[in-house]
């Protein structure tokens, strides 16, 4: 999973739904080694900022 940092408003919704703890929102990084990728964060993001 990747993040478009121009769209991300750091709301933390994606980190809350990630079952793998793969998202750290302070600088909006996704830890790719932990990402399955299940797609839950992309569906939860209100800004459409997450993409595969
Ligand atoms: S795709 Fe799934 S595992 Fe990967 S960051 Fe998003 S919620 Fe977490
Ligand atoms: S849910 Fe979307 S807008 Fe919110 S922190 Fe995650 S990527 Fe950014």
Q: Which long-range contacts (CB under 8 A, 24 or more apart) does 7-11 make?
A: 7/47, 7/48, 7/49, 8/45, 8/47, 8/49, 9/47, 9/49, 11/46, 11/47
Mutate to test the pocket of ligand 2, among 3, 6, 11, 43 (most ligand atoms within 8 A of CB): 11
Give the count of domains, the chain: 1
For residue 15, give the CATH number of its domain: 3.30.70.20
pLDDT of the chain along its 52 residues, tens only?
A: 999 999 999 999 999 999 999 999 998 999 999 999 999 999 999 999 999 9
Structural domain harbouring 33: 2-51
Q: Does the Cβ of 42 fall within 6 Å of ligand 2?
A: no
**Closest ligand 2 atom, residue 10 Cα:** 5
Mutate to test the pocket of ligand 1, among 40, 42, 50 (most ligand atoms within 8 A of CB): 40
């Amino acid at each position: 999973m990747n993040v478009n940092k121009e769209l991300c408003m750091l709301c933390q919704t994606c980190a809350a739904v990630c079952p793998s703890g793969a998202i750290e929102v302070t600088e909006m990084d996704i830890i790719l080694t932990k990402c399955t990728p299940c797609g839950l964060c992309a569906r939860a993001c209100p800004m459409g900022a997450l993409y595969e």
